[in-house]
């Protein structure tokens, strides 16, 4: 059993659990995920690793209440236990010194992009982060992202906070500004990743997207996550979750 060391409600419907899982914490890398099961009869769901602390032996996940399991998960609190917490799974994000990296997060994917932005910064990259949400009430971890980024641009769909519009707009402006951008990482809803990839394609800048939204069991058995990447069939949970967005 895995103990929930801390529960934090980030915004309505989005929660953070810090879970005691020393073996996972020892191996975790940015971009990887865990598969959890609340109890013996529960369904398995993949959750991206948002943070980890090897010394404390903890792994942090952030989830949104969208279905039965995440709603059941949201009923748990600090001191409760989860039956299974398996990981780290999936291939880590490619972290290198690229130069200037733009990290684009849509919705609660800011929790996924934060460890990637941190690792990119530690590697010596200039990190420009763009985070977008539907409205002000859904914004979280802005300060955290600022601490790993040279610049942060925030957008809301309805203009209730920061700049009004979609994340693709400041992304396009950055690309058109003439600043040399070496890599873009876009994580969020599938449609947002699609349009980020379409925005960067004419500029020929390699764009990595994370297809974790389409995973189910996360272990290569259900087949739900099959995708065609550059004409080759891949499994998101085994060969990803990161892929070249232009493919």
Residue 211 in contact with ligand FES, rule: CB under 6 A: no
Among 110, 207, 237, 241, contact with ligand FES (rule: CB under 6 A): 237
Q: Which helix (H) or strand (E) holds 22?
A: helix 22-27
Range in contact with ligand FES (rule: CB under 6 A) among 66-74, 167-175, 194-202, 223-231 = 223-231
Residue 225 in contact with ligand FES, rule: CB under 6 A: yes
* Cα–Cα distance for residue pair 58/24, rounded to 1 Å: 8
Comparing CB distances to ligand FES, the nearer of 106 and 218 is: 218
Among 235, 239, 242, 243, contact with ligand FES (rule: CB under 6 A): 235
Which runs of consecutive H residues, i.e. helices, occur in 44-189? 68-73, 110-122, 142-148, 168-176
* Cα–Cα distance for residue pair 123/5, rounded to 1 Å: 30
Comparing CB distances to ligand FES, the nearer of 53 and 217 is: 217
Residue 224 in contact with ligand FES, rule: CB under 6 A: yes
Residues 6+ positions from 177 with CB-CB distance below 8 Å:
none
Residue 43 in contact with ligand FES, rule: CB under 6 A: no
Q: How far is the CB of 217 from ligand FES (least distance, A)?
A: 4
Residue 190 in contact with ligand FES, rule: CB under 6 A: no
Comparing CB distances to ligand FES, the nearer of 104 and 215 is: 215
- Using alpha carbons only, give the angle 194, 185, 33 rounded to the nearest 5 degrees: 95
Residue 47 in contact with ligand FES, rule: CB under 6 A: no
Residue 243 in contact with ligand FES, rule: CB under 6 A: no
Q: How far is the CB of 85 from ligand FES (least distance, A)?
A: 17
Q: How far is the CB of 237 from ligand FES (least distance, A)?
A: 3
* Cα–Cα distance for residue pair 236/211, rounded to 1 Å: 6
Q: How far is the CB of 220 from ligand FES (least distance, A)?
A: 5
Q: How far is the CB of 48 from ligand FES (least distance, A)?
A: 13
Burial level of 206, CB count in 10 A (0-12/13-18/19+)? middle
Answer for the pair 111, 50: CB distance below 8 angstroms, yes or no. Answer: yes
Residue 215 in contact with ligand FES, rule: CB under 6 A: yes
Q: How far is the CB of 40 from ligand FES (least distance, A)?
A: 20
219 to 42, 58, 67, 142, 168: CA distances (angstroms): 16, 22, 20, 32, 32
Q: Which two tokens stand for residue 110?
A: 């800011």
Binding site for ligand FES (CB under 6 A): 215-218, 220-225, 235-237
């Amino acid at each position: 059993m895995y103990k929930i060391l801390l529960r934090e409600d980030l915004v309505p419907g989005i929660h953070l659990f810090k879970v005691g899982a020393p073996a996972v914490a020892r191996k975790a890398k940015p971009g990887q995920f865990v598969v959890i099961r609340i109890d013996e009869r529960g369904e398995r769901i993949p959750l991206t690793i948002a943070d980890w602390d090897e010394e404390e032996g903890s792994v942090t996940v952030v989830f949104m209440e969208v279905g039965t399991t995440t709603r059941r998960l949201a009923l748990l609190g600090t001191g409760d236990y989860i039956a299974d917490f398996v990981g780290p799974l999936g291939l880590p994000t490619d972290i290198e010194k690229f130069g200037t990296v733009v990290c684009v997060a849509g919705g609660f994917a800011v929790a996924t992009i934060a460890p990637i932005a941190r690792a990119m910064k530690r590697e010596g990259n200039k990190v420009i982060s763009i985070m977008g949400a539907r409205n002000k009430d859904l914004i979280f971890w802005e300060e955290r992202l600022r601490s790993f980024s040279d610049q942060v641009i925030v957008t809301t769909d309805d203009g209730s906070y920061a700049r009004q519009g979609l994340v693709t707009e400041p992304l396009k402006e950055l690309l058109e500004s003439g600043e040399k951008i070496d890599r873009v990482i876009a994580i969020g809803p599938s449609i947002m990743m699609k349009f980020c990839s379409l925005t960067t394609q004419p500029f020929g800048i390699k764009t990595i997207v994370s297809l974790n939204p389409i995973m189910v069991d996360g272990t290569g058995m259900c087949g739900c996550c099959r995708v065609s990447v550059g004409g080759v069939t891949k499994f998101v949970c085994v060969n990803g979750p990161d892929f070249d967005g232009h493919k």
